[in-house]
Amino acid sequence: MINAKKTPLNQKGMVIWLLGLSGAGKSTIATLLKEKLDSEGFFSVSLDGDILRAGINNNLTYSNEDRAENVRRAAEMAKILVGNNIITICSFITPLQGHRDLTHQILGDQYFEVFVNCPLEICEKRDVKGLYKKARREGLSNFTGISAAFEPSVSSHLTLFTNIQTPEDSCGMLYSAILPYIKPDAN
C-alpha cells in the first residue's frame, strides 16, 4: 500500500489563456512558461487546443458553434483545475470576442487573458504544420485567418508581440505579469 503524504500547493491557482492565430507562438510560450513555473517550484498544467481537438473534442467541427463549444469545454476543464489551486495554461486560437467573453464568464477573476499577437503573414511564413498552405491550396472553409474571422483582442491583460519578441522574452514578460497573482503571499 502506498503511503502518500498530502501537501498543499504553495500557490494560488489561476488560468492563463493564450490566444492568437495558428503559428503565433501560443504553444511555444505555454511550454516555456510551464518549464519556468516548474523550475520555480510551482505546479501547473497545460491544456493545448491541438491536443484537446485530437481527444476529448474530436467530435467537433470548425463551425462557429463548435468552436464556441471547444472553448467552453476547455474553460470548464480549466475551472476544475484552478478550483484545485492549479495554475492552468491554456493555448487556444479563441478567434472571436464572444468566445473570450465565454471563457471569462466561466472562469471569473481567475482568468488572465494573453493575446499572442503576430501578423498573419508571419504566421504563414512559420507554418510549421503546413496548415496555411493547405488552407490556401485547397480552399479550406472555416480556417481562422484565411476563410474564417480572427478578431484581434482589445481587452487582454497582456499582449505579446511575437513577431518582434523572442519566445524567451515573451515568456519572461508573461511570468513577471502573473507572478503577483500566483504567489501565496500576494493579494
What does the pLDDT look like over 107-164, one tens digit per residue? 999 999 999 999 999 998 998 888 888 778 887 778 887 878 899 999 999 999 999 9
Question: Would you tell me how many other CB atoms lie within 10 Å of the CB of residue 153?
Answer: 18
Q: How far apart are CA 65 and CA 73, in angstroms?
A: 12
Q: Which fold has domain 15-182?
A: Rossmann fold (3.40.50)
Separation of alpha carbons 58 and 71, rounded Å: 13
CB 104, CB 111: distance < 8 Å:
yes
What gap in Å lies between CA 110 and CA 34, rounded to an integer? 17
pLDDT tier, 186 (very low <50, low <70, confident <90, very high otherwise): low
What 3-state class would DSSP assign to 39? helix
Question: Hunting for cell 505546479 — which residue is that?
Answer: 43
- For 29, the 3-state DSSP assignment is helix
Q: 53-57, 67-71, 183-187: which range is least confident on average?
A: 183-187
Q: What is the pTM of this model?
A: 0.91
Q: Which residue from 110, 95, 93 is spatially nearest to 16, judged by alpha carbons?
A: 110
Instruction: For the chain, give every domain's residue range.
Output: 15-182
